[in-house]
Amino acid sequence: MEATKPYYYSKTVDLSPEEAEKRVRTELENEGFGVLTEIDVEATLKKKLNADFRPYKILGACNPPAAHQALSVEDKIGTMLPCNVILQETEDGQTEIAAVDPVASMQSVENDALRPIAEEIRDRLHTVIDHV
């Protein structure tokens, strides 16, 4: 099942969160991304609030050439980088993978030079999710 909302693209797969994460990382690498940040939301909420939460990770993915282009045309665009990809366990034990739509994010910046960069990254993130 694939979903598209104005600000993200997602797919649910019949994999554990751990297996889905391995595949997402491989596909990100295949599309020229590195993972700069990783937030284990489940562990953080347990540690900080002693709250139980489903497996949920946020991977901050970066494509260095695209990031360089974007920063060259809009110096504050770093406030919107890296591109977040989430993995979360669903109620039925599957894993949903979702990525931000950088085109939607960049619309608020009002710099037309960002659009082709954002479109390329959107397409690459869709490819990552589609290949898992």
Judged against a pLDDT cut of 90, whether residue 96 lies above it is answered with: yes
Closest to 42 (Cα-Cα) out of 62, 18, 22, 23: 18
Report pLDDT digits (tens) over 24-74.
999 999 999 999 999 999 999 999 999 999 999 999 999 999 999 999 999
Report pLDDT digits (tens) over 119-131.
999 999 999 999 9
Asked, as a colleague might, if the bond just before 82 is cis with ω within 30 of 0, I would say yes
2-131 has CATH 3.30.310.70 classification: yes
Sign of the CA dihedral with 10 first, then 11, 16, and 18 last: negative
Distance CA 33, CA 53 (A): 28
